[in-house]
Structure 1
Amino acid sequence: MRPRSVRARAALAAASVTAVALACVGWWVHRDVHQEGMRIAEEKAETQLRSLADQLDQGVVPLSKGADAPYEVVATGRRAALSYGGGMEEFRPGSRHVLPSPTDALHSGVLATRPLRIPVRRDSTGDRLGMAGHTYLVMFTDVGAGRLGRAKAAALGLTTGAHIRVYVVVLPRTADTLTEVTNPLLLRAGLLTLVLTAAIVYVAVLLVLRPVEAIRRLTASVTPNDPRERVTVPATGHEITALATTLNTTLQRLDDAAARQRRFVADAAHELRSPLTTLLASLEVALAYPERTDWPAAATTAARQTRRLQALAEDLLLLARLDTRAPVAAPETVDLTALASRLTEQYPLDGRPLTLACDSDAPAYVRGDPDAYERLLRNLLDNAARHAAHRIQVTLRNQDDRVVLTVHDDGPGVPPEDAERIFERFVRLDDARSRDQGGTGLGLAIARDLAHRHGGTLTLTPRTLGACFELRLPRAPAKA
């Protein structure tokens, strides 16, 4: 089953929310309309009740003609109703009243309301209003039999102390009629609103997502080898603008990464070509003139170039591993002071007039890979030894939550404008220097990557004489 689009899901969600809201509004309107209908019915019943009571007060027994609502007039001590109409005649109240006769009298002019059940009468001639067996709100008031006059009361079989009660049944016909008219209108209006809401949301989301679709089409055409395409940033200032800006930034980073990769491959090929060319040339000359070849010297040259190839290959493999950004496996607590002291004592000077010194005020513990720390320090020492005139100074100190190591040589130093470029791969500041003397150009890049991998930093700090590299690493607690 194909998943719904964002437009369809948004329209469905909007329609669902609208349906719930319309249901609540419809129920509220239905309730209010029904209540208003009942209020109108009660007002009509009250008007009719007062009219009937006024007639009794004037000594007139009301007639059933023109009654809007069912009514019945009953009296104490009398079995049959005095008067009835509006539908009550179908229950034959002339033989026996339908509603109960008064047991206690109300004060004159007082109207009361209570629910009463209309009984089912077997002798009923019909029930066109469907009242039998149902409970309705009934309004009633009492009138003294003396209001009819002694003679009329006696003719009706009433004593002068009898009470006459007038009942008017409040039928919900008005409320039912109003709701029957209103409900279809509410249903049609609700369905129309539902459809319009879904359509409007669908079109609105379609318009809003149009830039997203353009972004999707463009990103689908981007390849890792050619991420130069850019997304048009809409000038709306909303989230789509932020998305397009972020995507362009990502594409730029991909483009930069691809450019760095191409440059890295080109530089690596260039670096490999130099020792290979030297090695191949020396071997071809030796093979072309074997009798005049100094074979020990040729072997020495070949071994030296092979070692350079091996070192370059190892550096390239290490950089490839560092580029994966994998966490340090099984980190250990390392005493950087002890490691630096050992490396400075064992560093091969090959007869050069250099002095290596290591100063530290206390053990400096860090967490990480011991081999990686040794490689980092060795690269810094190799770089310093390559440029130092007479002395290399290694200093360690504990500074708050950091371990700070500096390697300072008394060489020619580094121009301020090259303070960051020197950490790039295959960078040699002395262009006139041969590759045999200048190294692979990867040592400082590897050292900085190793520092970053261990949560530290490696920077070149300004000095009036020589170059000073400062390594900062998170300090670790001492070994237990």
Structure 2
Amino acid sequence: MADPTRPGPLRAARRRTAAILHHLTRHPRIAALVKRLAPRSVRTRTTLAACASVAVVLLVASAAVLLLLRANLERTVETGAREQAQAIARLATDDHLTAQLPLDHGTDFIQVTDADGKVIAASQNLAGHPALAPTNTHDGHSTYNLGALGDEHHQRVTTVTTDTPTGPVTIHVGASLRTADTAEDLTTAALAALSAVLLLTVGALTWRATGRALRPVEAIRAEVAAIGDRDLDRRVPEPRSDDEIARLAHTMNAMLDRLEAAGARQRRFIADASHELRSPLAVLRTQLEVALTHPDPGVRTDLVAGALQDTERLQSLAADLLLLARLDATGHDRPDELVDLTELVHTTVHARGPQPHPVSLHTPDEITLVGNRLWLGRLLTNLLDNAQRHARHRVTVRLSTDGATGRAVLDVSNDGLRIDPADRERIFERFTRLDDARSRDDGGTGLGLPIARDIATIHGGTLTVQDTSDGTTFRARLSVVVPGAVPPRP
């Protein structure tokens, strides 16, 4: 009895093969060769995968067809041989058996032996030959040495034992499998030829279809590779089909649109910042040079005071530029600090001290949101500075909650001149000043409203301007925290 713990020969062979492959792949030269020969393109890998899949299916299907064909042919031959053996058995039972027996179509030989193994009847081709003896027995089927027939080929030997008036006899009928072998060979050749043609067809069609499918991808890759930092106006070709590649091209073009817009905005910002910095620096240098050479102490004092004002303006402009850089770097990452907006509005308004125009404040009991307290205070400060510059008599700050959307609404209104509808978006561009506010003497840098809008956007809100019956209102909508809810994190 075999030891169940001992691995079988097939498993042992698999382990040896795996060990050899592992040893070969660890060899540097062989590993490099395998890596070099491995297909790298998607087109080649797809074609090989399709051919391999079809080859496996064809191999399994061909093996099944050949097995069924072989079994059917052998069953037919065996049935004919058994019918002839049964016919001879009836002759032996009726004691009509002759020494020489005729062969039917498809039968190679007939031999009848008695209980002592003596040949008592046979076909003509076995006349005078001793009794056939099995040379091997496997799975219940005996193999006979048929070299005496002078014609080596596969045969199916059917053995039948019957009783006769003179005692039991054994009848051996050998049926030729030549027809079955020929049919199997022809079928194998036909299946091999058809499989080869089918594999070549599948490989060619897959190679062509994959090439056509990947051609737009290659065009997109080539176009993206050719786009430099100065060619952001170029776009990748979009296929006419409505598939994944077309959507990829559309997404790439949308990304290029955003990059072009960001590049243009950055270049415009740098140009505007250079212009804004150049003017106060030039004035500051002129004032200092004059103060250095002027003999009148009183004039020098005035010049130094003017230089100090320009220095403060430069400091304010630099702080605004740094804040814009931080806001641009923050992007869509929303701060996660819990802020009491009502208390922040009260603190910011009252901390400003005396103002050119009185501020009327209207706030509810409590509105809480998630954000950055410093930035939200800067948003309100910028809106108040803008309102104070353009108001005639009063400024109004109103904080409320929009019942439809559940957002906090911060309105900063002034009773000054209304803004032309064509300028309501332009005022949020950086370094933009309208005609009635171009003077730099009022302290404006042209960055207050853009900073306020960026802060509102980072907090998941919006900042818009609209006309009211008595002036202009800047409205910021911000997301609030539901009572009892956990503050969301970015």
Classify the TM-score, shorter chain.
Answer: 0.7 to 0.9
Tell me which residue corresponds to 1:193: 198
Checking the alignment, whether the CA contact within 8 Å between 2:294 and 2:300 is kept in structure 1 is no
With the length of structure 2 as denominator, give the TM-score of the two structures: 0.76
State how 1:25-424 maps to structure 2 within 5 Å.
Answer: 25-45=61-81, 48-49=84-85, 52=88, 60-61=96-97, 63-67=100-104, 68-73=107-112, 80=118, 82-85=120-123, 92-93=130-131, 116-118=140-142, 138=158, 153=165, 157=166, 168=173, 173-291=178-296, 294-325=299-330, 331-350=336-355, 352=356, 354-399=357-402, 401-424=406-429
My pick for the range that moved more, 66-75 or 251-260, is 66-75
Deviations 1:286-342 (A, max 9, x none): 345432862332222111111111111111111111112357697322111111001
Counterpart Cα distance in 2 of 1:57 and 1:189: 52
Residue 41 of structure 2 corresponds to residue 17 of structure 1: no
Indicate the percent of aligned positions where both proteins have the same amino acid. 37
Deviations 1:329-373 (A, max 9, x none): 9732211111100111122445x2x12122222111122222112
- 1:394 deviates by 1.6
With the length of structure 1 as denominator, give the TM-score of the two structures: 0.78
Counterpart Cα distance in 1 of 2:276 and 2:42: 53
Letter in 1 for 2:142: I
State how 1:448-463 maps to structure 2 within 5 Å.
Answer: 448-463=453-468
- 1:186 deviates by 3.0
- 1:245 deviates by 2.8
What residue ranges of structure 2 are gaps of 5+ in the alignment? 1-34
The verdict on how the C-alpha distance between 1:171 and 1:464 changes in structure 2, with shifts beyond 3 A counting, is farther
Letter in 1 for 2:419: V
Checking the alignment, whether the CA contact within 8 Å between 2:112 and 2:122 is kept in structure 1 is yes
- 1:116 deviates by 4.9
Checking the alignment, whether the CA contact within 8 Å between 2:287 and 2:304 is kept in structure 1 is no
Counterpart Cα distance in 1 of 2:462 and 2:52: 55
The verdict on how the C-alpha distance between 1:85 and 1:450 changes in structure 2, with shifts beyond 3 A counting, is farther
- 1:7 deviates by 1.8
- 1:66 deviates by 2.6
Letter in 2 for 1:118: S
Tell me which residue corresponds to 1:446: 451
- 1:387 deviates by 1.6
- 1:406 deviates by 1.9
- 1:278 deviates by 2.7
Checking the alignment, whether the CA contact within 8 Å between 1:139 and 1:170 is kept in structure 2 is no
Deviations 1:418-456 (A, max 9, x none): 333322222223356313326111111111211222222
Partner-residue secondary structure (3-state), 1:363: coil
Partner-residue secondary structure (3-state), 1:283: helix
Partner-residue secondary structure (3-state), 1:266: helix
Counterpart Cα distance in 2 of 1:422 and 1:138: 105
The verdict on how the C-alpha distance between 1:420 and 1:74 changes in structure 2, with shifts beyond 3 A counting, is farther
- 1:41 deviates by 1.7
Counterpart Cα distance in 1 of 2:124 and 2:460: 95
My pick for the range that moved more, 26-35 or 394-403, is 394-403
The verdict on how the C-alpha distance between 1:138 and 1:467 changes in structure 2, with shifts beyond 3 A counting, is farther
Checking the alignment, whether the CA contact within 8 Å between 1:328 and 1:369 is kept in structure 2 is no
- 1:389 deviates by 1.8
The verdict on how the C-alpha distance between 1:327 and 1:243 changes in structure 2, with shifts beyond 3 A counting, is closer
Counterpart Cα distance in 1 of 2:423 and 2:207: 57
Partner-residue secondary structure (3-state), 2:408: strand
Letter in 2 for 1:358: L
Deviations 1:196-244 (A, max 9, x none): 4334322332333233223222221211232122233333444433333
| Number of corresponding residues | 440
The verdict on how the C-alpha distance between 1:303 and 1:172 changes in structure 2, with shifts beyond 3 A counting, is farther
Partner-residue secondary structure (3-state), 2:330: coil
Partner-residue secondary structure (3-state), 1:294: helix
Counterpart Cα distance in 2 of 1:271 and 1:344: 29
Letter in 1 for 2:41: S
Letter in 2 for 1:415: D
Deviations 1:4-25 (A, max 9, x none): 1122212221222122122222
Checking the alignment, whether the CA contact within 8 Å between 1:333 and 1:479 is kept in structure 2 is no
Counterpart Cα distance in 1 of 2:140 and 2:40: 57
Tell me which residue corresponds to 1:148: none
My pick for the range that moved more, 405-414 or 175-184, is 175-184
Letter in 2 for 1:5: S
The verdict on how the C-alpha distance between 1:71 and 1:452 changes in structure 2, with shifts beyond 3 A counting, is farther
Checking the alignment, whether the CA contact within 8 Å between 1:283 and 1:298 is kept in structure 2 is yes
The verdict on how the C-alpha distance between 1:420 and 1:126 changes in structure 2, with shifts beyond 3 A counting, is same
- 1:258 deviates by 1.5
- 1:280 deviates by 2.9
RMSD: 3.8
Checking the alignment, whether the CA contact within 8 Å between 1:379 and 1:447 is kept in structure 2 is yes
Counterpart Cα distance in 2 of 1:139 and 1:420: 104
Counterpart Cα distance in 2 of 1:90 and 1:259: 109
Letter in 2 for 1:389: R
Counterpart Cα distance in 2 of 1:473 and 1:48: 100
The verdict on how the C-alpha distance between 1:70 and 1:423 changes in structure 2, with shifts beyond 3 A counting, is farther
Give the number of the structure whose residues are more often helix, by fraction: 2
